[in-house]
Amino acid sequence: MSAWKDNQEIEFFREYLRIPSVHPDIDYEPCVEFLKRQAIDLGLPIEVFYCAGPTKPVVVITWVGQRPDLPTIILNSHMDVVPVFPEKWTYPPFSAHMDDQGRIYARGSQDMKCVGMQYLAAIRALRKNGVTLKRTIHMTFVPDEEVGGNEGMRVFVKSKEFKKLNVGFSLDEGIASPDETFPVYYAERSIWHVKFILTGTAGHGSLLLENTVGEKFLKFFNKVMEFRQHEVQRLESDTSLTIGDVTTINLTCLNGGVQSNVVPPTLEAVLDIRLALSINHDAFAQQLSQWCEEAGGGIKIEYKQKQPKVEATKIDNFNPFWTAFKQASTELGLKIKTLVFPGGTDSRYIRQAGIPAIGFSPMNHTPVLLHDHDEFLQADVYLKGIEYYKKIIPAVTNV
């Protein structure tokens, strides 16, 4: 344990973890000040942009390459973390407690303050070793990824500040792996959050009224569950598929009613839908409308979120950045597995801008604990990740 405690990079990591940049009310300025100190230590320039207002900073630390005219590389991470339930944790969730086995307990230890700090650690080592790189690197630290990135990467990508970066390729977060493999994500499903407002006959709860919202909801929801079960069966019957390859659909909110003996005139239901890459968005929207009509009509559809189809990053020999990433992984002896990300990350905004992006968090033999109680990362795993980035970053930067 003393070797871990004496390691400067471990201490930098734990210092970052102790900043409670947690939703819903985040003050990002402590993160900004910490990153300014990191930039000074690295001897690199830092800029802070406020594209979405004074409380939403985007931090950019830049290492200028030998060919600054070439498209640049982004090493992206987000500063925010999801809420915690402290009573469910063995140690305080922002203490960055490290036990005798080197397990560092903190919210953000896996998702994803680890990756942002591993970028910095790898670049610190490369610069100390006198390494020079062809392309310019921008290490970006963005806000609000955990709440959809609407005031983070989504706004930043559309800004003049981002366009000046001349980005050609991006690395961002992945997910830990409990086995020897390293998941590498080249695409994401499209997220739709859809509210259905059902209207029907209202009246006394003792009657058998026609066209009530309860009847309509049952008919509609049976259609939803039939589709959902079809996707469950696809996933179970084809071992080559993972959760990111199918469309998921779940009821997440159900609201309505005023009193136990009154049949309500309205009922609201919200579905969380993640559309597989193979789904035609227009056809699926028509399918939702058809289900509403088949349930009896009188159902209004509101899209709370309706992400467009975003092209996957090419993972073939026509993408030189992917070729370089894959070659470096092979030389490191990493067993990578290419997947479609099951959730959503800031990479979707990067890809939507036409920039190839790969999601990769170098954490194998690690339980998947993002958003969970007692989230931790083992110190040895963290340090190995730095070594991997010391190989991967120059590989993609020198394309």
List residues with catalytic annotation: 80, 145
Q: Compute the C-alpha angle 329/334/337, nearest 5°.
A: 90
The length of the chain in residues reads 399
Of residues 286, 256, 254, 292, the one with CA closest to residue 270: 254
Report which residue type is found at 175: I
Residue 272 and residue 252 in contact, taking contact as beta carbons nearer than 8 Å:
yes
- Count the neighbouring beta carbons within 10 Å of the beta carbon of residue 197: 16
Ramachandran assignment for 108, one of left (phi > 0), alpha (psi -120 to 50 degrees), beta (any other): left
Instruction: Report the DSSP pairing between strands 357-359 and 167-172.
Output: parallel
Of residues 364, 361, 372, 381, the one with CA closest to residue 104: 381
Taking the C-alpha atoms of residue 23 and residue 143, their distance in angstroms, rounded to an integer, is 11
- Count the neighbouring beta carbons within 10 Å of the beta carbon of residue 270: 16
- 271 to each of 4, 101, 254, 264, 286, how far by Cα in Å? 45, 42, 9, 21, 16
Taking the C-alpha atoms of residue 376 and residue 178, their distance in angstroms, rounded to an integer, is 13
Please, which residues have CB within 8 angstroms of residue 344's CB and are 6 or more apart in sequence?
148, 188, 191, 307
